[in-house]
C-alpha cells in the first residue's frame, strides 16, 4: 500500500480537478449542442411552414382578386383592392414592429427558460 504523502495527495487532487473541469466542459458542450439542435429544428420547421403559408396566402390573394374583379366587373379593380388591403396590413405590421419584436423575444426567452427549468427538475430527480 502506497503511503499518502503531500505530493501524492496533491497529484490526486490535481487529477480530480482536471477530470472535473474536463467533464464540466464536455457537459457544457453537450448542453449547447442540445439547445442548438432544438433551435435549428424549430427554425427548419418554421421555414417549411412559412413556405406553405406564403403559398396558401398567394392563392387566397389571387382568388380574392379574381372574385373582386368579377364583382366589380374589372379585373384590375379586384387585384387593386387586394393589393391595397395587403399594403394596409404591411403598414399596420410596420407600425406594430416594436411590440411584435418584444413579444417574439419574450417567447424565445420563456422557451429557453422553460427548457432550462425542465432540465433542472430532471437533474434534481436524478440526484435524489
CA–CA dist 74, 68 (Å, integer): 8
pLDDT digits (tens, 9 = 90+) for 52-106: 999 999 999 999 999 999 999 999 999 999 999 999 999 999 999 999 999 988 8
pTM of the model: 0.58
Cell representation of residue 98? 416594436
pLDDT at res. 128 = 61
Residue with cell 403559398: 55
pLDDT at res. 42 = 86
Q: Residue 13: is it exposed, middle or buried by C-beta count within 10 angstroms (0-12/13-18/19+)?
A: exposed
Higher pLDDT, 34 or 45: 45
User: How confident is the prediction for the chain on average, in pLDDT?
Assistant: 88
CA–CA dist 82, 76 (Å, integer): 10
Q: Are 79 and 65 in contact (CB under 8 A)?
A: yes
Count of alpha carbons within 13 angstroms of residue 126, beta-carbon side: 6
Residue 123 parent element (H or E): helix 97-127
pLDDT at 33 over 80: yes
pLDDT at 10 over 80: yes
Amino acid at each position: 500500500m502506497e503511503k499518502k504523502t503531500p505530493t501524492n495527495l496533491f497529484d490526486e487532487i490535481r487529477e480530480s480537478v482536471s477530470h472535473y473541469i474536463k467533464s464540466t466542459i464536455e457537459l457544457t458542450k453537450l448542453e449547447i449542442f442540445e439547445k442548438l439542435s432544438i433551435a435549428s429544428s424549430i427554425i427548419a420547421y418554421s421555414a417549411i411552414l412559412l413556405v406553405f403559408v406564403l403559398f396558401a396566402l398567394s392563392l387566397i390573394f389571387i382568388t380574392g382578386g379574381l372574385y373582386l374583379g368579377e364583382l366589380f366587373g374589372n379585373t384590375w379593380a379586384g387585384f387593386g383592392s387586394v393589393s391595397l388591403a395587403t399594403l394596409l396590413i404591411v403598414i399596420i405590421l410596420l407600425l406594430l414592429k416594436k411590440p411584435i419584436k418584444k413579444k417574439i423575444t419574450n417567447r424565445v426567452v420563456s422557451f429557453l427558460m422553460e427548457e432550462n427549468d425542465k432540465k433542472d427538475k430532471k437533474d434534481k430527480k436524478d440526484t435524489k
